[in-house]
Amino acid sequence: MTQEQIYENLRLHKEVLSSVKQQPWGMRRKLRLVQQAKAYVKRHEGELQERLAQSKTTRDILASCNIILIKVISFEVCVSTVDTP
């Protein structure tokens, strides 16, 4: 699997995590889907970061920065939801 495929799959799994709340499915299905998506992200995000840390091309450096930005933005969204009354 190439880095681009892993990155695309990570993006899709994160999209599933953010949109599963709005789906009219049963709680068990939602929970199972979230657990699978989180496990995939946890497993492959570290693998992708290790590959990018070893690589020195501009495209890989930009992808690494993109991963960091995604983490910062998701953290800010989490904090803003906690701060709102």
From CA 9, how far away is CA 14, in angstroms rounded?
9
Give the sign of the dihedral formed by CA 27, CA 33, CA 35, CA 38: negative
State the pTM of this model: 0.50
Tell me: the pLDDT tens digits for 13-32? Answer: 888 888 888 889 899 998 89
Rounded (5°) CA angle 81-84-85: 130
From CA 7, how far away is CA 51, in angstroms rounded?
12
Question: What are the residue ranges in the chain where pLDDT is below 50?
Answer: none
